[in-house]
Chains A and B, each alone.
Chain A
Amino acid sequence: MTIFVEKRQLVLPGDLMAENGYEMGVNVYREDGKIYALKVGLAELEDRKISVVPLKGCYVPHVGDQVIGKIVDVGLSGWLLDINTAYQAMLPLSEAIGRRQTHVKTELTSILNIGDLVLAKVIAFDRTRDPLLTIRGPGLGRITSGRTMKISSTKIPRLIGRKGSMVSMIKRETGCEIIIGQNGVVVVSGRSPLKVKAALEAISMVEREAHTEGLTDRVKEHIRRIVENVELQ
């Protein structure tokens, strides 16, 4: 029962991580009783489970994920969305207006049209069919304003922070509203363009330096420098 890596050690595809006695977490594979890394990332060990937290990767939807998607097509009974992944997502009409009202002839485009951005939840996904979404639920629905940015979906947990500490700090320091999609899409809105800019830069910084220590303080410093710089003038 041997482990060859330390927590948060950088591993590469094919790196030997552990031998017999350990369980496979995510982004690893087993061959001949040995566990190897599948992606470039940081080693994680929880109980006996070995995983790799990847530095980059395509977003893979999970049921329950909150995602920000863009309407790309309107069909007969619902909409098709781009949720920043390899699979196009579907939002059926019944998941937008309630099952009871679907017998009433509804003009879909009056609810949502091509180019609209929505905050939605993934209600079904497996690799044999495209992800299914809903916007029925608290806080879900059309996003009406704000600046959008995309970061690697693997960095979203870091952006949220432990118990939301990172994103709460950014919201506090900039006074902006920040909506985060697990799929790597983030929308920032605020009254002051400078503070919105500071928030966007902060998010960029988190994406670039997600794998480093002391990040929360450095991001706070950076925001303050931008915001205070102008207030002084």
Chain B
Amino acid sequence: MSSYNKVEAPKKLIKNGLRVDGRKPEELRPIKMEVGVLDKADGSAYVEHGRNKILVAVYGPREAHPKHIALPDRAALRCRYHMAPFSTEERRSPAPSRRDMELSKVIREALEPSILTQLYPRTTIDVFIEILQSDGGTRCAGITGASLALADAGIPLKDMVAACAVGKVDGKLVLDLNDLEDKYGEADMPIALMPNTGKITLLQMDGDLSTEEFNTAIEMAVEACKKIGQMQRESIRRKYLQGDKIA
């Protein structure tokens, strides 16, 4: 890392029961969601999750380009996770990295179970996730935003998909890791689920957890995802119920 952008590693991640940003272990960062923010996209959403700023657009169902990716019996879901060069401490090359490609795949697989793709064979549904500012947990916030953008586009969905990460820092299980905690902590486990049924659509983990810790952690995450699912619904309602009476 260059000398200009060096960020010091914190000595402790938890001091007096509080985390580096003052949160308690089971506390989520502040979250803001807005739906329908772009003009050209069929559906869009903007999510601020802590210091993460994420913009998602959905195009589709639309004609498949190139033709060979079209599937005969359903829509092909295409998903692109991408970070802006100015989104991180050190400027990133805009060319997709291996991490970008892995995340694009797991995010697509997190969203796919919620979409009734069989209704639009031979088309594509494109989801573009752009990370404008990053501070840990971007794939989860990206999934949350993507689900909002899909709903905004009028794509038929069984349920929304909400995502959140849980991890371990200084030996303690914590919810919703920020960038420092992700870098210097002992475990990181992002999860996504469909809140109605609690069915899990994304699960990744890296670090060191006992099976007991895992069980506690996943319960924490499931609860958090359900909360985030509530926020998603509220943000959609807010858009359409702004002072208008719906008879």
Contacts and interface: CB of A to CB of B under 8 A. Distances in A.
A212 B244 contact: yes
Nearest to B229: A14
Interface in A49-72: 54-58
Contact of B60 (A31, A40, A56, A58): A58
Interface stretch (A5-13, A17-25, A141-149): A5-13
Interface in B17-72: 42-43, 60-63, 72
Contacts of A205: none
List 10 tightest A-B contacts by C-beta distance, closest first: A57-B154, A14-B159, A56-B154, A13-B157, A38-B156, A86-B123, A86-B61, A212-B244, A213-B247, A127-B121
A210 B131 CA distance: 33
A125 interface: no
B143 interface: no
Given A14-B195, A127-B121, A128-B72, 15 more contacts: A10-B240, A13-B160, A14-B159, A14-B196, A29-B158, A38-B156, A38-B158, A40-B240, A56-B153, A58-B62, A86-B123, A87-B63, A209-B244, A211-B246, A212-B244
Contacts of A9: 246
Interface string A78-103: 00000000111000000000000000
Interface secondary structure of B, over-half rule: loop
Contacts, number: 95
B123 A12 contact: no
- Determine the interface band of chain A, counting residues with CB < 8 A from chain B: 20 to 34
A134 interface: no
Given A9-B246, A213-B245, A86 B120 contact: yes
14 contacts: A10-B241, A10-B246, A13-B114, A13-B151, A38-B116, A40-B154, A40-B240, A58-B120, A86-B123, A88-B63, A127-B120, A152-B154, A212-B246, A213-B245
Contacts of A36: 158-159, 196
